[in-house]
């Protein structure tokens, strides 16, 4: 029996205990955004550190200005020195009355289709997912007394409230964490039978734009037809952001955006994501994205511009015939490839100013910028992970982009110079951030086995 086969057998034999260990972590109410749960967050960090100590790591609960970070280190036999990132904090449970069982009393339920699920806050996001990696390490330590590769963990307690103190922590300790590869388990599978590796995360630029015309609201009967209406002006400017093909018209917007490799695009097309499947459940029929692009490209690997809100004039009950003095909008951009968020922000502002009459003024605010992340498709670790996942799940592992952002992963690249391999086992119906959050028992079990295979593949060079 090979070492990997022995490790996989150990995972299977120990799985019931793996579930009990996850339950012990799930019982800790580590809600990071609420100061009332500060001590529980500390307790969760200490629990994770003690667990890692028990399987050959040397752990520390490192302080930050907020909740602590669990840094643990273990030597390995060979291969790259990897950084594993996860988080022990969870979302608030509100509304509590919608939970079928107490959110911090984990239990196993059986769905109508026969699937067994673990139900608790944090079951999937991210305690269950983080424990898939820890349990894989546990099995290696049990079988061989050591780990297949050198591993450092960075398991934080503020992901659910923006990781606001982790960015400084990474920068302050950059020399310590500049390793060979980051492993992240906070993403999803394509479906219940198809594993996925997230190869890109869209970046973000989020702007607030406020246009002022007259120095006050005006009577539309007296000034209508002569006075500039900022709502009409702002609507005209924002509507010019797209051409008839759905492409963004800001000059230089697509700098750094590349087409997908042909084989990757073929894989995505084979997934069969259609407008009916994706948009039908929300009451829509037709995509409004770039023409000539796959729907899955539109929502994961292509950049976007969206108006998130617009305010101006009278919005109360009844009628009030005014021309507003000012109007504002919130506009966000999702970025891909090597798009520069600061350049996009500046280009958007220049776009607006160029269309502004000389007797009107504009002010801008910013809610945040984050660069996109793209893992190179020829990264050797990607190929090894795809092979390992296919061996475990019996289906080819797809490489997909994620429409959202995990900002700290950008710092792993820009500050630490590391690529990140994002492998997760969440499903679309896991109710992440919602009442009755769940994690499929099969995903937990095979997730542990998947990490064992990935670590074995990385160790073999």
d(CA 411, CA 408): 5
Band of the pLDDT at 42, cuts 50, 70, 90? very high
Does the pLDDT at position 405 exceed 80? no
Does the pLDDT at position 406 exceed 80? no
Band of the pLDDT at 235, cuts 50, 70, 90? very high
| pLDDT value for 256 | 96
| Average pLDDT for 206-217 | 97
Residues 134-162 have pLDDT tens digits of: 999 999 999 999 999 999 999 999 999 98
Among 67, 64, 72, 48, residue whose Cα is nearest residue 170 = 64
d(CA 272, CA 423): 21
| Average pLDDT for 171-194 | 96
Band of the pLDDT at 39, cuts 50, 70, 90? very high
Residues 72-82 have pLDDT tens digits of: 999 988 899 99
| pLDDT value for 377 | 86
Q: Which two tokens stand for residue 237?
A: 């400017």
Does the pLDDT at position 27 exceed 90? yes
Q: Are 163 and 64 in contact (CB under 8 A)?
A: no
d(CA 380, CA 400): 17
| pLDDT value for 49 | 98
| pLDDT value for 77 | 86
Q: Which two tokens stand for residue 203?
A: 């970046």
| pLDDT value for 170 | 97
Consecutive H or E run containing 333: strand 326-335
pTM: predicted TM-score of the whole model, two decimal places? 0.85
Does the pLDDT at position 6 exceed 80? yes
| pLDDT value for 373 | 87
| pLDDT value for 209 | 98
Q: What angle do CA 174, 419, 384 make, to 5 degrees?
A: 135
Residues 90-141 have pLDDT tens digits of: 999 999 999 999 999 999 999 999 999 999 999 999 999 999 999 999 999 9
DSSP lists the bridge partners of residue 197 as 399, 423
| Average pLDDT for 200-213 | 94
Does the pLDDT at position 371 exceed 90? no
Instruction: Supply the mean pLDDT for the chain.
Output: 96
Q: Kindly list the structural domains of the chain, giving each domain's residue range(s) and its CATH number in brackets, ordered by start.
A: 3-201+372-459 (3.40.630.10), 203-257+303-370 (3.30.70.360)
Does the pLDDT at position 348 exceed 80? yes
Q: Which two tokens stand for residue 197?
A: 């590796």
φ, ψ for residue 66 (rounded to 5)?
A: -120, -125
Residues 302-344 have pLDDT tens digits of: 999 999 999 999 999 999 999 999 999 999 999 999 999 999 9
């Amino acid at each position: 029996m090979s070492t990997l086969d022995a490790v996989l057998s150990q995972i299977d034999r120990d799985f019931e205990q793996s579930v009990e260990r996850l339950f012990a972590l799930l019982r800790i109410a580590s809600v990071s955004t609420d100061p009332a749960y500060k001590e529980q967050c500390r307790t969760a960090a200490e629990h994770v550190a003690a667990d890692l100590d028990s399987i050959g790591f040397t752990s520390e609960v490192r302080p930050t200005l907020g909740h602590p970070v669990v840094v643990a280190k273990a030597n390995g036999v060979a291969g790259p020195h990897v950084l594993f990132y996860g988080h022990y904090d969870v979302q608030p449970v509100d509304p509590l009355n919608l939970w079928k069982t107490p959110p911090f009393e984990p239990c196993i339920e059986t769905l109508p289709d026969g699937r067994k699920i673990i139900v608790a806050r944090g079951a999937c996001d991210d305690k269950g997912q983080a424990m898939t990696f820890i349990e894989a390490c546990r099995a290696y330590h049990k079988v061989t007394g050591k780990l297949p590769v050198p591993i450092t963990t960075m398991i934080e307690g503020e992901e659910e409230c923006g990781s606001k103190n982790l960015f400084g922590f990474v920068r302050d300790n950059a020399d310590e964490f500049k390793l060979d590869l980051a492993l992240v388990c906070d993403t999803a599978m394509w479906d219940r039978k198809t594993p996925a590796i997230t190869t890109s995360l869209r970046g973000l630029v989020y702007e607030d734009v406020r246009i002022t015309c007259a120095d006050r609201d005006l009577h539309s009967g007296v000034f209508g037809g002569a006075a500039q209406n900022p709502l009409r002006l702002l609507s005209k400017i924002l509507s010019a952001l797209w051409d008839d093909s759905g492409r963004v018209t800001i000059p230089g917007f697509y700098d750094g955006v590349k087409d997908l490799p042909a084989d990757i695009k073929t894989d995505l097309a084979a997934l069969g994501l259609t407008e009916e499947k994706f948009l039908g459940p929300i009451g829509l029929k037709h995509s409004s994205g770039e023409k000539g692009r796959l729907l899955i490209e539109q929502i994961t690997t292509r950049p976007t511009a969206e108006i998130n809100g617009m305010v101006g004039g009278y919005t109360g009950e009844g009628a009030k015939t005014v021309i507003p003095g000012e109007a504002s909008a919130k506009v966000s951009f999702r970025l891909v490839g090597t798009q520069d968020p600061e350049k996009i922000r500046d280009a958007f502002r220049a776009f607006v100013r160029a269309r502004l009459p000389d007797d009107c003024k504009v002010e801008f605010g910013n809610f945040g910028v984050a660069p996109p992340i793209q893992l190179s498709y020829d990264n050797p670790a990607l190929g090894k992970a795809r092979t390992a996942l296919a061996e475990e799940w019996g289906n080819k592992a797809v490489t997909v982009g994620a429409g959202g952002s995990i900002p700290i992963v950008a710092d792993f690249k820009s500050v630490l110079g590391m690529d990140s391999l994002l492998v997760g086992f969440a499903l679309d119906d896991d109710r992440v951030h919602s009442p009755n959050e769940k994690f499929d028992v099969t995903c937990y079990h095979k997730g542990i086995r998947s990490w064992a295979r990935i670590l074995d593949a990385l160790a073999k060079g």
